[in-house]
Structure 1
Amino acid sequence: MSTSTPEGSPDHGEGAVPVSDEQWAELIRRAEEGGADAPKEPSARARMVTARLRALDEQAAGGRRRSRKGKPAEQWQPEGWRTGPPTGGGRSRKRRRLAAVLGFLVVLGIFVVAMRPSLLTDHLPGGDDEPGRAGPTPEQPFLGSPAADWADGATGIELPEAEAVGGMSKDEVEQALRATRQLIIAANLDPATLRGEKPDRALELLDPMQKGERERLERSLAEPSEEQDPLMLFSRFDPGETRLVGEVVKTLGQTTFEAGDAGSVEVHSDYTFVYPLVRPGGDEVARTIVRRRLTTVLHDPQRFEATRGKLSVLTSEQNFGNTACEINDGFLHPSFPSDTPAPGPTGDDVDPYDRGEWQPDGACGTLTRT
């Protein structure tokens, strides 16, 4: 129950006894009825109390009017009425923070896949010819292949920084590295070589004084066979059977060097090449994958019987993916997705893109992908 002594009333002043609202209301009622004990001047207090009650009624009525206009009806309460600290705020903030992080990760994932779609396509199950999955096309010959992100052609053949080793100067080591790079390009990327023409540029880089090597390669090109096969060093396709799609061959690998016998430097290269191919007049794309490991050596003519600046081939190894193993005519023969599989036994599963495992010579396995 609240009590007050309104300013301006007879009781207002120091030492005045406060009168409750209920007492004033009773006095007013009795005054209106003509009671003898009514105060002589109650009108000011009566008007104040009446105005107060009317204000409360108007506030309540205003709340009802807002409810009828379609807004939520709220019972009027004094400020601070039964209020306390908000609850759940910390949890809401955590949820919002989590949602923001998840949203950022989704956007980041979409951006990465858009920039490098092979991050997604390389891990889809099955091969390019799986039903429902798009295969390579002449416009996108590396679609679905890990090679899609590899370097184009010769740009993928990078050389280490030269330094003097094996009694050879830095300049001589640099010469050996550059000559080996030129040999790799001429043997595996030159358009004339790929069309099955004689790889003259590659042959000119080889030392004619290396016993038997130059003659062996010349014979293999003229009369290819299983024993003397030009594919041991050169990538060649029969132009009447297949042709390269566009001008891009994908390349991945590395080159290193070390000291050889006193007065020589050995250069080791290990590269994988991916060739997209179509038949003449066709648009179905096949890919052949060739991995080559080659060791060349540059000798000091003052210590060896050698031609200055010319390379000798020390070792040459190769793995082929998607070529007919039983044909030895000096060309690579890819199979296409629509081809009927050849009858006969098949070997172990082989991933031609796997650079961690070297297939033994003469192996002819079943490819897991091209």
Structure 2
Amino acid sequence: MVGKPSDEAGDNSSISDEEWQAFLQDSELGATAAPKEPSARARMVTERLRHQSEPEGWRTGPTPRDTRGSGRRRRQVWSVLGVALALGAVAVALRPSLLPGDPFGTREPKAAAVSPLPAETAAPTAAPGAAPDQVPTIDRPFAGSPALPWADGEAGVVLPVAKAVGSASKERVSKALELTRKLLVGANLEPKTLRGERPTAALSVLDPKQPDLLDDLDAFLRSPDRTHDPLTLFSRFDPDEVRVVGDVVKTRGRMTYKKGKHDGVIVHADYTFVYPVRPAEGPPEVTRTIVRRVIDVELPDPAHYDVTPGRLLLVRYDEELFNSACDVHDGFLHPRFRSAEPTAPTQTGPTVDPYDRSKGVGGDSASDSCGTVSRV
């Protein structure tokens, strides 16, 4: 009977009891030779090959150089993430509504979709209905205003279809309508005019041969006072005091025409302009100033009258100014802001609705009696 080899010189056997038992059984049957334990040299070679086949760092980790590099990369990544998180926190603090779902409940009410009104083709019979009770903001300057569905700026000055009238041809009528439109835009919508600069575009369509007209308007612009006020024809704000919010002025009105007295055509225009404004300095409070203008202009026939071809005669111009100080005559509109109401002059006239276009211009209005507007 063959005995199991003993350990010699500290050379521990790598043969398990199960393997030795299997060998003894095979020996008895003559099926195999005794398993031979590998020598110490063989075990050393095997161990060296095993280490060479393992990937670097599998057991021992990266070299010191790699460890430092990875640390730097981790610090850089965390630094970038830290800056991004800080910026995000600031943005959310300023506008919590940026967070999905608005967890703080601070988001402004979402503006309801408003369908634009069709062009005005006849005088309205009543004032616009009540608008939602909302405070205007920089982002939503027409919130709470009946003018919200009105057209934007120049798009609201819609021309009627031109037809021949009296001795004025269709072409002359069309020309008169276009010039009237240019006058309205230049006097009430041109950004330079609104900033208080000279309304060059509007003045350019008026006939210099009309006695005293341009001289008077120049005097109004140069030295305004109670009886010589450029606001009778032009919408102007003092840029050191007030800024128009955004680039949209709401516009609504209509234009008609008829046979003129000078073998030409007379155009009648009645338009209301709504200006969202804020103080030039201080908190971003928003209010609105409303201006209604009614003008009559004529394009005479230069073949029969001493006029400048392609220029308008200014026959009539009336205005109503709402939410503007009526005791200041410096040639600028001066809106009243809620924050300044305790120091504003006391209003003595009747309460009027600046959006009511069903009534004529003049009489008891906020512009001549320093009245109170029912809404802005």
Shared fold, TM over 0.5 = yes
Specify the code of the residue in structure 2 equivalent to 1:364: C
Map residues 1-370 of structure 1 onto 2, 5 A cutoff. 114-116=112-114, 123=130, 134-281=134-281, 282-341=283-342, 342-344=344-346, 346-358=348-360, 359-360=362-363, 362-370=368-376
SS for the counterpart of 1:339 is helix
Letter in 1 for 2:294: R
Matched position secondary structure for 2:340: coil
Deviation at 1:226, TM superposition (A): 1.1
1:175-231 Cα deviation digits (max 9, x unpaired): 000000001000000000000000111111110000011111011000111111111
In structure 1, C-alpha distance between the alignment counterparts of 2:340 and 2:115, rounded to whole Å: 28
Is the CA contact (8 Å cut-off) linking 1:226 and 1:328 kept in structure 2? yes
Aligned length: 250
Q: Is the 8 A contact 1:167 1:262 kept in 2?
A: no
CA distance change for structure 1 residues 230 and 276 in 2, over 3 Å: closer, same or farther? same
| Cα distance, 1:163 vs structure 2 | 1.0
Which amino acid in structure 1 is aligned with residue 204 of structure 2? E
Inter-partner Cα distance in structure 2 for 1:200 and 1:118: 31
**Which consecutive residues of structure 2, in runs of 5 or more, have no partner in the other structure?**
1-110, 118-127
1:187–1:202: 8 Å Cα contact kept in structure 2?
yes
Kindly state the Cα deviation for residue 299 of structure 1 after the two structures are TM-superposed.
0.7
Gaps of 5+ in 1: 1-112, 126-132
* Pair 195,124 (structure 1): closer, same or farther in 2 beyond 3 Å: closer
Query: Taking structure 1 as reference, are residues 263 and 227 closer, same or farther at Cα in structure 2, changes over 3 Å only?
Result: same
After superposition, the C-alpha distances for 1:86-122 in whole angstroms (9 at most, x for unaligned) are: xxxxxxxxxxxxxxxxxxxxxxxxxxx9433999x96
Q: Which amino acid counterpart does residue 251 of structure 2 have in structure 1?
A: T
Superposition TM-score, scaled by structure 2 size: 0.64
SS in 2 for 1:197: coil
Higher gyration radius (CA): 1
**Partners of 2:115 and 2:149 within 8 A in 1:** no
C-alpha change, 1:169 and 1:115, in structure 2 (3 Å) is same
Residue 343 of structure 1, CA deviation: 4.2
> Partners in 1 of 2:135 and 2:257 — Cα distance?
39
Amino acid at match of 2:171: D
Q: Distance in 2 between matches of 1:306 and 1:298?
A: 9
Distance in structure 2 (CA, Å) of the matches to 1:264 and 1:118: 35
**8 Å contact kept, 2:348–2:369:** no
AA partner of residue 349 (structure 1):
T
- Residue 310 to residue 118, structure 1, CA distance change in 2 (3 Å): closer
2:286 maps to amino acid: V
Q: 2: distance between equivalents of 1:349 and 1:315?
A: 26
Conserved 8 A contact 1:118-1:144? no
Q: Is the contact made by 1:160 and 1:255 (CA closer than 8 Å) also made in structure 2?
A: yes
Q: Deviations over 1:229-281 (max 9, x none)?
A: 11111000000000010000000000000001141110000000000001124
What is the percent sequence identity of the aligned residues? 48
Q: Quote the RMSD (CA, aligned, Å).
A: 2.1
Shift of 1:318: 0.3
In 2, distance between residues paired with 1:222 and 1:201?
A: 17
Provide closer, same or farther for how the CA distance between residues 339 and 174 of structure 1 changes in structure 2, counting only shifts above 3 A: same
Alpha-carbon distance in 2 for matches of 1:197, 1:345: 30
Q: TM-score when scaled to structure 1?
A: 0.65
